[in-house]
Amino acid sequence: MIIDFDRLERDQDQLRTDWATARPFPLLVLDSFGDPDALRTIEAAYPDPSTLNKSRDYIFAKEKYEKNHFAELHPLMGKLHTELLSARFQAWLSHVTGIDLFVDPDFVGGGLHSGGVGSFLDMHADFNVHPGRKDWLREINILLYLNHGWQPDWGGCLKLLDAESGETREIEPIFNRCVLMLTKEHTLHGYDPISFPPGRFRRSIAGYAYSPITDGMEITPHSTMWQSDRSLFRRAAGPVTLRLVALKNRFFGSASIKNR
């Protein structure tokens, strides 16, 4: 096993309490999430960013690359992929959060994420309905960081903001740290521009957990809702971009689905 299931399951009742009482909104910060040797191998096996898909987050992100189909890139990536999709992980995740969850098997919008020099991601709330499955409601982000030897002065901390309470938090993206976070319209997150030594990247594996949308639920689908805190222009551009993306998706489909 790569994921330390024994520890997660042993502590699941305490973690359920930690999730429910976390600030600024429900989340967990899980250090030593998995086998360090296996994760070091996965980190070393990351492909060159030039071979990945560049993020289409317009003016709200820079030097951010991704690949949702990653299982075939290395045997240990395939093993981690399988464990994240397993019934065992699904049961643990559902118990801790109190939500009946499953992880998107295609990792649409997720998978390998890699940020180069100057990379940033403006504050945002994620899309709420799966681009290819209109009966899947996005509930949880699973962010596994693979940044061995990370230094605080490199920047790139995960920034969190509850848009309702105004409360904030920052979490360093250190190696073998997994962050589970609620993803709703008020759970804003992003990271500021980062600075690296040559050849270093901000690396993570992202998975998204969903619950079924059932009859009677009133859900209005939306794409990523940008609420930049870096300039007035970028903040004003957020609502405009939301409308443009909705129009584009209506006629041409989701780029997240097409990006493999």
Interatomic CA distance for residues 69 and 119, integer angstroms: 22
Tokens, residue 238: 């957020």
- For residue range 67-88, what is the model confidence (pLDDT) as tens digits? 999 999 999 999 999 999 999 9
- For residue range 191-220, what is the model confidence (pLDDT) as tens digits? 999 998 888 899 999 999 999 998 888 888
pLDDT of residue 236: 55
* Contact present, 112 and 66 (Cβ < 8 Å): yes
Look at residue 56 and give its three-state secondary structure: coil
| Helices and strands in the chain, H and E counts | 7, 12
Q: Residue 13 — very low, low, confident or very high, per pLDDT cuts 50/70/90?
A: very high
Q: Count the domains in the chain.
A: 1
237 versus 207: the higher-pLDDT residue is 207
SS (H, E, C) 178-244: EEEEECCCCEEEEECCCCCCCCCCEEEEEEEEEEECCCCCCCCCCCCEECCCCCHHHHHHHHHHHHH
* Contact present, 151 and 257 (Cβ < 8 Å): no
Q: How many CA atoms lie within 13 A of 227 on its CB side?
A: 14
Interatomic CA distance for residues 174 and 176, integer angstroms: 6
Strand 177-182 relative to strand 136-145, pairing:
antiparallel
Cα 37 to chain centroid distance, Å, stands at 23
- CA-based nearest residue to 7, from 178, 137, 160: 178
Angle, helix 36-44 to helix 75-84, in steps of 10 degrees: 120
Q: Residue 227 — very low, low, confident or very high, per pLDDT cuts 50/70/90?
A: confident
Among 130-134, 165-169, 217-221, 229-233, the range of highest mean pLDDT? 165-169
pLDDT of residue 249: 45
Task: Find the domain containing 51 and state its range.
Answer: 5-258
* Contact present, 161 and 188 (Cβ < 8 Å): yes
pLDDT of residue 248: 41
Tokens, residue 24: 């600024």
Q: CATH no. for residue 191?
A: 2.60.120.620
Tell me the whole-structure pTM to 2 decimals: 0.89
CA distances from 185 to 25, 154, 214, 220 (A): 12, 29, 20, 11
Give the number of other Cβ atoms within 10 Å of residue 56's Cβ: 13
Q: Looking at 79-88, 124-133, 173-182, which range is the least confident one?
A: 124-133
Interatomic CA distance for residues 35 and 58, integer angstroms: 36
